[in-house]
Amino acid sequence: MAEALALFETADEPAYLAGGHTLIPVMKNHLAAPDRLIDLRAIPELGGIARRADSLRIGAAVSHAKIAASPPVRAAIPALAALAGSIGDVQVRNMGTIGGSLAHNDPAADYPAAVLALGARVATDRRTLAAEDFFEGLFGTALEDGEIIRHVELPVPAAAGYAKFRNPASRYALVAAFVARAPDGAARVAITGAGSDGVFRWAEAEAALGAAFAAPALDGLTPSDAQMLDDIHAAADERAALCASMTARAVMRPGRASIF
């Protein structure tokens, strides 16, 4: 870690490299030209998956494939393992990392929904950030220049589910919902792929599921069209309707991922 941080500080236009599935295409299209690439994948402090009493700690450089196959993840938060197994294709899952995905914060990425719905904490080389404080709109995070994500600490829920309606070409989420019920019964719902400002919590659905954690509790609820992206892939009202249906699917199948 110390060497990576020093390499960043002594370059004019440095960039950290995790899985590379964002940075390399950007470079190939001449949209970025860093003078130094600093590969983070082999740094020991960024690896590993560990179960603690009431949480799961995942190193930033752990790949999607390792998360999907991890026995501790499957036992503690099976919906997270299922989410990781739904990302992209085999090549992406074996190269992409949870830290790289969170640092990039693509508005259609999967992990931000899980991190936000579970009330996770993102630890860096400088500080620890609550999920609500980490994400800052489309492609935006609270990370400062040169800051490195070390690991993510995810509370183990009483139940959780994930449902995704994806673009058939890119496999990114048009709309996806991660739903988590805490041990005290409180519900958290995070939506990715749909929000005009990126990943967001759906408060009305949380209140309904907090009263009754069952799909019928969501009947008649949809987020406001004004919150939704409206583009060539789906209109705002279509995305709002999908938010409701994906959230219901996630509640109906806790511990799994429903992919459409």
Q: What is the pLDDT of residue 25?
A: 87
Sign of CA dihedral 147, 162, 170, 139: negative
**133-146 pLDDT, tens digit each:** 999 999 999 999 99
Q: What is the pLDDT of residue 260?
A: 85
164 and 130 within one domain: no
226 and 151 within one domain: no
Q: What is the mean pLDDT of the segment spanning 168-181?
A: 93
Sign of CA dihedral 193, 199, 200, 205: positive
The residue to which tokens 């992409």 are assigned:
96
140 and 50 within one domain: yes
| 136 within 8 A of 142, measured Cβ to Cβ | yes
- Is residue 18 included in any domain, yes or no? no
- Is residue 1 included in any domain, yes or no? no
Largest CA distance in the chain: 57
Write out the residue range of the structural domain in which residue 113 sits: 44-155
125 and 64 within one domain: yes
Q: Is the pLDDT of residue 55 over 90?
A: yes
Q: Where are the beta strands (DSSP E) in 100-226?
A: 121-124, 128-130, 149-155, 159-166, 173-181, 187-192, 200-201
126 and 61 within one domain: yes
State how many domains the chain has.
2
- Is residue 39 included in any domain, yes or no? no
Structure tokens at 106: 């693509």
Chosen domain end from 155, 181, 197: 155
Q: Where are the beta strands (DSSP E) in the chain?
A: 14-17, 36-39, 49-51, 55-59, 121-124, 128-130, 149-155, 159-166, 173-181, 187-192, 200-201, 257-259
Give me the CATH number covering residue 137.
Answer: 3.30.465.10
133 and 77 within one domain: yes
**110-130 pLDDT, tens digit each:** 999 999 999 999 999 999 999
Q: Is the pLDDT of residue 75 over 90?
A: yes
Predicted TM-score of the model (pTM): 0.95
Pairing mode, strands 159-166 and 257-259: parallel
Q: Is the pLDDT of residue 62 over 90?
A: yes
Q: What is the pLDDT of residue 108?
A: 94
Q: Sorting pLDDT into bands at 50, 70 and 90, what band is 48?
A: very high
| 82 within 8 A of 73, measured Cβ to Cβ | no
CA 54/CA 157 separation, integer angstroms: 9
151 and 56 within one domain: yes
Q: Sorting pLDDT into bands at 50, 70 and 90, what band is 76?
A: very high
CA 196/CA 204 separation, integer angstroms: 18
Q: What is the pLDDT of residue 150?
A: 98
The answer for residues whose C-beta is within 8 angstroms of residue 247's C-beta and 6 or more apart is 163, 177, 179, 189, 191, 202, 205, 218
Q: Sorting pLDDT into bands at 50, 70 and 90, what band is 153?
A: very high
Q: Is the pLDDT of residue 248 over 90?
A: yes
